[in-house]
Amino acid sequence: MSEHVIHPVAPPAELQRLPLVTNNRSFGWISDRVAAIVEGKTPWWWWVAFVPSALAAGWLLVMLAYQISTGVGVWGNSHPVMWGWDIINFVWWIGIGHAGTLISAILFLLRQRWRTAVNRAAEAMTIFAVMCAGIYPALHVGRVWFDWWLFPIPTSNAIWPQFRSPLMWDVFAVSTYFTVSLMFWYVGLIPDLAVMRDRARTRIRQFLYGLFSLGWTGSNRHWSNYEKAYLILAGLSTPLVLSVHSIVSLDFAVSQLPGWHTTIFPPYFVAGAIFSGFGMVLTLLIPLRKLCGLEDVITMRHIDVMCKVTLATGSIVGYAYGMEVFIAWYSGSPYERYAFINRAMGPFAWGYWTMIICNVVVPQLFWFKRIRHHLLIVWILSILVNVGMWFERFVIIVISLHRDFLPSNWGYYLPTWVDITTFLGTFGLFFTLFLLFLRFLPMIAISEVKGVIPQADPHHPLGDGSKGGAH
């Protein structure tokens, strides 16, 4: 009887996983290519993007100064629509941040190795989006010099913030979110900052990267501690992905206004946040991978996967819209029914249908592989996703507020030029910070990407078998 030999059979080509870095790139290539964005000459497109962004960010400061010195009356918020673009934009920006945390924390815990190519940029996006978001609640209280009253500090007023209010929980949710996201981003940066330090050609670069890399030497002990810290922060961030936007949704759901008073809000807001966040990641990374020559790191497989996440979350959002309408009918409450009829057929119906097209119809196109692999179409659809998500908040806030229980209490809402240019200014701030990030920090997690290429596996034919573990 002959010895039974199992011959390994490779799976058919269409079932094989595509490599995460294409064209069989080496470790050195990854370091050089990512570092080149920081070390090379400033590219023309950087200035083309940076100058208008910085000007818009400057304009944001002018608008904030105008609002603080004059009062919230410079915005369009007025009875009965007392929350306008300020809260729309707050929720929109904070929602965008959620993709970064999902990619960095949940996908890390789920061992989704493709995250390594996009997590650094997505986390940076998160932090800058939360900064843009934070401006709005701080300003919309009217007297910004009393913002510190939001925090439970013992004062000679002998009163505390209202702990039963979701607006209070918001303060804790958003500030925790920002702090943990910043920590997570920074801890992940440390090994790469050390790479930048070691490659530095000037004293000032060596000093600054050296300062922030905290004396990283790449020893086994450093890596061991680093991996533990990263895992702990991933664990801390994971509930935040779900909690932050749940609490933001409670700002609405806890009130008794038809259109707001809905138990579906927390999961629906979280899905919408991840949906819009992935939209923004795609919007940012599709041009960047081209401009920075990173097509082999942020591959079509990455784009494809992110399109699928967008499709999944977009479908959840679409389901939530349908369920809201169903419950409005099923509840039998005439006010609830009217709120939804008014959304679809009232004076702001254009906003509702823009939302439906962008958030329900558009993501369904991602079922088609040919669309997922057509970069220009994906890029345009990713922008439409965020247009839709902006209109979702517009629909929830403005349409629900403008017609409540009493017809004598009805009105219309128009933003002012200050609302509009302040919003444009937050884009300026966001892109200014993001462009500075691109130019001064490695936008790809160099060490993590190296860990997921075949060469990193000693069992792989391309791996370095001489270092042990090979057959």
Partner 1 sequence: MSDVFPKWTNRLPMLLLVGLVMAGTAVVAGVWYYFTPKYTRVGYQPIQPVAFSHALHVGQLGMDCRYCHSAVEESWYSNVPSASSCMNCHNQVLKDSPKLDLVRQSAATGEPIPWVQVHKVPDYVYFNHAVHVRRGISCVECHGPIHQMDEVYHAQPLSMAFCLDCHRDPASRIRPVDKVTDLEWTWNSDPAIAADLQRVNGEKFVHDWNVQSLQNCSACHR
Question: Which residues contact partner 1 by CB under 8 A?
Answer: 155-159, 197-198, 206-207, 210-211, 215, 217
- Select 159 or 376, whichever has its Cβ closest to partner 1: 159
C-alpha gyration radius of the chain: 24
Amino acid code (one letter) for 305 = V
Amino acid code (one letter) for 111 = R
Least Cβ distance, residue 35 to partner 1 (angstroms): 17
Least Cβ distance, residue 165 to partner 1 (angstroms): 14
List for the chain the helix, strand, coil content (%; round to 5): 75, 0, 25
- Select 207 or 412, whichever has its Cβ closest to partner 1: 207
Q: How far is CA 311 from CA 96, 304, 363, in A?
A: 16, 10, 5
Using CA atoms, how far apart are residues 174 and 306, in angstroms rounded to an integer? 25
- Structure tokens belonging to residue 59: 């304009």
81 near 413, Cβ under 8 Å?
yes
Using CA atoms, how far apart are residues 208 and 278, in angstroms rounded to an integer? 32
Contacts of 229 (CB under 8 A, 6+ apart): 187
- Select 41 or 203, whichever has its Cβ closest to partner 1: 203
- Select 187 or 375, whichever has its Cβ closest to partner 1: 187
- Select 47 or 207, whichever has its Cβ closest to partner 1: 207
Helix (H, G, I), strand (E, B) or coil at 218: coil
Using CA atoms, how far apart are residues 137 and 141, in angstroms rounded to an integer? 6
Helix (H, G, I), strand (E, B) or coil at 81: strand
Least Cβ distance, residue 201 to partner 1 (angstroms): 13
Least Cβ distance, residue 146 to partner 1 (angstroms): 13
- Select 153 or 345, whichever has its Cβ closest to partner 1: 153
- Select 69 or 157, whichever has its Cβ closest to partner 1: 157
Least Cβ distance, residue 370 to partner 1 (angstroms): 50
Using CA atoms, how far apart are residues 49 and 432, in angstroms rounded to an integer? 8
Least Cβ distance, residue 40 to partner 1 (angstroms): 22
- Select 182 or 452, whichever has its Cβ closest to partner 1: 182
Least Cβ distance, residue 203 to partner 1 (angstroms): 9
HSE toward the beta carbon, residue 275, CA cutoff 13 A:
31
Least Cβ distance, residue 211 to partner 1 (angstroms): 8
- Structure tokens belonging to residue 357: 């097209």
244 near 98, Cβ under 8 Å?
yes
